[in-house]
Structure 1
Amino acid sequence: MVDTCTVSWTARDFQFVTLAAARLVFIPRDALSLAGAVGVLYVPARAEATSDGSGAGSIALVPGYYILHVITADGTATAGIAVPNAATAEIGACIDQTLDLPALSEFQALVVAAEAAADAAAASALAAATFDPVLYLAKSGNLSGLLNTTTALTNLGATATGASLFTAATAAAARTTLGATAVGDAVFTAASTAAAQTAIGASVVGKALMVAVDAAAGRTAIAAAPLASPAFTGVVSVASGSAALPSLTFSADLDTGFWNPANNLLGVAINGVERARFDGNYLRLAAGGIQFNGDTADANSLDDYEEGSFTPTISGAGVSGAGTYTLQTGRYVKVGKVVTIWGAVTITAHTGSGQMIIGGLPFTTANVANMKTVASILYLSLTVPASSFAVGFIGPNESWISMNSLATAATGYVSLSIDAACTLNFTATYEAA
């Protein structure tokens, strides 16, 4: 038994022409949604058609070739595309189709030309003609879209403004471009089969555009038209990172940037090493310090600030001895290499001998030959030679104050011997080593 399906129509004034070897059915352009065109359905003689005389009718289709050619209103055919071959046009398992066709009036003149042709010539001309586009019944029996038979691709379109449109498919890459006529609608374009990528864009100026996927690293670049700087309205979160691999970095310098050492901390890394750290209370710099006015010399770097306390002591230069203390206090501030100290010490007994020494200073002086730092001394109960007063100084590469006496009329100083009981208040500013 031959498998058949039926194509039927219900429109009035539908023109049906019978030739000895074939039948031609003319379909108005409104049914095709193609401006200025009319369709011609070529039906082999073995397909029988019926009509109730009112313009409605049907054709029972058996397996064969059913070709709908599109012809312009003046009777000329658009050219360039061959008719479907057997592989694409043959109907196998059929599904009944209903064509709701509007009335035909203005194209009836085309029928006259078709009737005037010889049967065999008409059939041969239709089979050999080239028309573009071609509408045909696929193997399923469904009415397919507008087919471009040379590349075996299907374009799906809509006439409504802004509706989706599938166009410009490429058989070699098996891609389909999705577009829209409305301004600002999304468009999928320029897919790359090598990396299996799809660019997503918009025609509205300034909308986001995802481009240039790095398939090897799994990265996607985000840009915006017309500027290349993306704008984000929400929170952008990144991993904490490390000094070696900062989380906010630069494409050409991946070990330089910002990272998060811990909660409420911001680290700055250069060349994979932490160089600065911020929190709510301080800025911490790594080695090197601060350089001003473009200076790069280490000697001109401000690389230290420190403040603290120390415990002053009293000893003898000959015999250190041991003292009995009722007061020992000292403070200092160090900025760069400059140290300022101040303190007080009281002894009530001591076993040392020789020159009196105030020791325990927090930093050793710079080793500069013949350079002595003078210390200011306020003393109580200290035994000083008559007509003299006590002075102190710190020599090169030393961390103590040497006590001396200076006569009011003398031109030099002499060592001041240790006292068993006294109070000394002192201050000095010196260069640290």
Structure 2
Amino acid sequence: MDFAPSAVATDYTARMRAFLDEKVLPAEAEYDAFRAERRGTPQEWDLPPVVESLKSEARERGLWNLFLPAISGLSNLEYAPVAEVSGWSPVIGPEAINCQAPDTGNMETLHLFGTDEQKQQWLEPLLAGEIRSAFAMTEPDVASSDATNIETRIRRDGDDYVIDGRKWWISGAADERCRIFIIMGKTDPDASPHRQQSMILVPRDTPGLEIVRHLPTFGYQDQHGHSELRLDGVRVPASNLLGEEGGGFAIAQARLGPGRIHHCMRLIGMAERALSLMVERAQARVAFGKPLAEQGVVREQIALSRMEIEQARLLTLKTAWLIDNHGARGAATEIAAIKVVVPRMACTVIDRAMQVHGGGAMSDDFPLAYFYAWARALRFADGPDEVHIRSVARQELKAHR
């Protein structure tokens, strides 16, 4: 295995870093001020205009849709450090380059499984950054960590499918730019457990699709939102089915491999920024007669954070290399492992940075409270830690039989 960055990866990463430092980080204050003015109003989910300016700048710099190898030409290993840099500004950075979740996973899904008509109608405007999308799998009434529990029903009726069910924590749904939902539900409850589910495209304005409420995460309302949906007799053409009936579980697995690389590398970038803030604070803040950076306990926190970030990055790069060379199936254990290791590492590093910053870290004067909330939420997103630990254990036991 060779994790040394290629010349292409080095070039893109350097350009992404320049874009971050010159444009994205300076735009955070304007973004936050725009959102603060609208907090608690119906305009809370309006997009700050500065994001569209950044998107235009990113296109001009050639930093656009880099997550999709078929378009960018970058492998997962080459894109990984670019994703890390974007994670320094997790709210703005990924969207500025059109590499934000859940759209990346949805675009990959449409690219792999969509018909020509579906791609023209939905994939092309997503790739252009003109609309956004959502992926609706999680449900409030069942343990959705086991996808076979999903109760949403997708029933064939002539030339249509009719959908009934409830979903929640559906990222992106609050934003009016979210024009299309990929819904996962059961088309055949009597089939084998992994052939019961299918995925289907549901436009936002379809009758019967109701956005019930927008769920805060640790009190934060993201600009794109995380919402609860009710589907009551939602009727769409049969041509909206993604792939084949019974193929939903397989599509979900294909969708999650590269997506976890993206999530984890962005988290590593967020942890790097937290460590940078910790070091700056430790050098500037004086307690008990000397800077915090000269206190042994703080030095230990800085050192442990550096070591843990490096360990998590190496495992994630190994996983990206395995996906590139052996596919998601060949990297199954590592994909599960990074989904546990990286969010836990990020939570720990950010928590240490908060301690060094003192009480101010709990306010919005620093980005650390939001960073912690997002890192902690990612221990649930794409499956909780326990599911991935179970997968790693199963593979380890299987290898020793």
Give the TM-score range, shorter chain: under 0.3
Report which of the two has the higher share of strand.
1
TM-score, with structure 1 as normaliser: 0.15
Report which of the two has the higher share of helix.
2
Q: Using CA pairs below 8 Å that are at least 6 residues apart, which structure has the higher relative contact order?
A: 2
TM-score, with structure 2 as normaliser: 0.16
Flag the structure with larger Rg: 1
